[in-house]
Amino acid sequence: MTRRVTGDGLVTTVPLASYRHEEKAVAALTDLFTAADACAGGFTLKPGGDEHQVTGATRELAPQGADQAMGFGITRRTDGTDTTEKIVVMRRGPVIALV
Secondary structure of residue 32 in the 3-state scheme: helix
Contacts for 33-42: CB closer than 8 Å, 24+ residues apart: 33/70, 36/70, 36/72
- pLDDT value of residue 76: 86
> What predicted TM-score, i.e. pTM, was given to this entire model?
0.72
Neighbours of 90 (CB within 10 A): 21
Tell me the domain boundaries of the chain: 2-98
- pLDDT value of residue 48: 79
Query: Contact 47/54 with Cβ under 8 angstroms?
Result: no
Per-residue pLDDT of the chain (99 residues; tens, 9 = 90+): 666 666 667 666 676 788 999 999 999 988 888 888 888 888 887 777 877 788 988 888 888 889 999 998 989 887 888 989 888 999 999 999 888
From 12, 30, 2, select the one nearest 91 (Cα to Cα): 30
- pLDDT value of residue 18: 87
DSSP 40: T
